[in-house]
Structure 1
Amino acid sequence: MRFDVLTLFPGLFEGFLQQSLLKKAIDAELINIQLWNFRDWTKDKHQSVDDTPYGGGPGMLIRCEPVFDCVEAVQAESQQPGKLIMLTPQGRKLDQNLAEELSTEQRLLLLCGRYEGFDDRISQGLKPMEVSIGDFICNGGEVPAMLIIESIMRLIPGVLGDEASAKEDSFSSTGLLEHPQFTRPREFRGMEVPEILLSGNHQAIAKWREEQSLERTRQRRNDLLSGEDLHE
């Protein structure tokens, strides 16, 4: 799968791309990530990409011209057009269902804003899918883009060492929070691993995990439960 990240700060991704599973996935050619700088499509010597908003107001807005030119050039750079995603707090909230939906795409273009955001004609003209990572404000779209990449890459076959890991994550398959998990030592500071997990009875363990997952969801994220779940 290919990700094209369009940003004013491609340097923010340098460390991110060199870490852990993501680097292994890139090296294995399971994921291809390309970084693009809006400033490379400016036409003045100062490479300016922003300007003050019409009607007044604080901050600066990213102008149309460099963004349109950048998106159109990046789309034309490959025979496979990508789905354009604009990172904005006004968009559809990222959740596991959306991550799974986006993981079926062959290519995503991630449009990262800065300052007070984009001139609205960028949304009107390019018609991106607008995505938010939550009801809060970041300094820009770069960290949200990283979150999108991380949430999607786990769903790409071959990225995780154990394919079952993604299926058992919180919000996956059942839509519930993940059950508690334990490893060695068996006892630590008076806290012991539940006996059921040491029993070797896989059917009983599976039932315990389902019950724990439901109970944890009731306690921590009751909003995820339907009326039917609440009465199980």
Structure 2
Amino acid sequence: MWISIISLFPEMFKTYIKYGLINKSIKKKLLNISFWNPRDFIKNKFSKIDSNIYGGGGGIILKAEPLIKSIYKAKIEMKNNVKIIYLSPQGKKINISYIKKLLSYNKMIFICGRYKGIDERVINNFVDEEVSIGDYILSGGELPAMILLDTIVRQIPGVLNNMSSSQTDSFFNNGLLDAPNYTYPKVLKNLKKNTVPSILLSGNHKKIKEWKLQQSLGITWLKRPDLLRKKKLTKKEKILFQNFKKYYFKNK
């Protein structure tokens, strides 16, 4: 996968891509990242990259021409057939189904806005999709671009040592939150809730799978009931869910 990032502050990404799965995917040649700074495409060092908004009102936006030149330069290097995404609070929110959809694209350009955004003509003529990470405002699109990049990279085959790990993550687990996870030691001293559930130590993989599904259903109900309302439960899932609720209310 090849992703080009258009940003006034590409330096923000330098530390980010040195660590974790991003760095691992680059070393494995599963991911190529290019950066394009619109400042490199202004007429001269005295020209401004931003300007006031026509019609008045507070704030400034990025000018169209440097952005357009950045887009063209990136597309030429990437040999076209590129999906262009603008990170914007006005875009549709990122979710799992959208991330899975993006995995089908080999080449993408992320545009990171600044200030109050970018010239609308760039969006109308070049942007394929506007994407948001939530209903709030940040100083720019760099952090959302990092989040989108991270969610995509986790799903590229070969990045994770065990791909099944990502398939049990929250949201990927049939739209449910992940079940509780534990590791060594079996007992943590001086804690009230200090032991690992015995079922996880039983070696009965069928029972463990059922327990994890039941926990996923229950935790989703407790923490994100909106997700559970969207899911059509199977007969087995209904039984597991009802048993979870009975246990929950009994021990509440």
TM-score band, normalised by shorter chain: over 0.9
* SS at structure 2 position matched to 1:192: coil
Query: 1:33–1:180: structure 2 CA closer, same or farther, 3 Å change rule?
Result: same
Inter-partner Cα distance in structure 2 for 1:7 and 1:40: 11
Query: Aligned pair 1:24/2:27, yes or no?
Result: no
Gap regions ≥5 residues in structure 1: none
**Structure number with bigger Rg:** 2
1:45 deviates by: 2.2
The Cα offsets for residues 94-123 of structure 1, whole Å up to 9 and x where unpaired, read as 011111111110011000000111111111
> 5 Å matches for 1:129-144?
129-144=129-144
Q: Which amino acid aligns with 1:166?
A: S
Contact 1:40 1:47 in 2 (8 A): no
Inter-partner Cα distance in structure 1 for 2:41 and 2:128: 19
1:95 maps to which residue?
95
Q: Normalising by structure 1, what TM-score?
A: 0.96
Query: Aligned pair 1:229/2:233, yes or no?
Result: yes
1:53 maps to which residue?
53
Query: 1:4–1:186: structure 2 CA closer, same or farther, 3 Å change rule?
Result: same
Query: Aligned pair 1:219/2:222, yes or no?
Result: yes
Q: Which amino acid aligns with 2:162?
A: D
1:69 deviates by: 1.2
Aligned identity (percent) is 39
Inter-partner Cα distance in structure 2 for 1:162 and 1:36: 33
Inter-partner Cα distance in structure 2 for 1:78 and 1:204: 49
**Number of residues of Structure 1 aligned to a counterpart in Structure 2:** 232
The Cα offsets for residues 103-150 of structure 1, whole Å up to 9 and x where unpaired, read as 110011000000111111111121331000111111100000000110
1:208 maps to which residue?
211
> 5 Å matches for 1:172-183?
172-183=172-183
Query: 1:53–1:80: structure 2 CA closer, same or farther, 3 Å change rule?
Result: closer
Contact 2:78 2:107 in 1 (8 A): no
Contact 2:175 2:231 in 1 (8 A): no
Q: Which amino acid aligns with 1:210?
A: L
The Cα offsets for residues 19-43 of structure 1, whole Å up to 9 and x where unpaired, read as 1221111011011011110111111
Gap regions ≥5 residues in structure 2: 239-252
Query: Aligned pair 1:108/2:114, yes or no?
Result: no
Q: Normalising by structure 2, what TM-score?
A: 0.89
Inter-partner Cα distance in structure 2 for 1:47 and 1:23: 35
Query: 1:3–1:47: structure 2 CA closer, same or farther, 3 Å change rule?
Result: farther
| CA root-mean-square deviation | 1.4
2:202 maps to which residue?
199
1:173 deviates by: 4.2
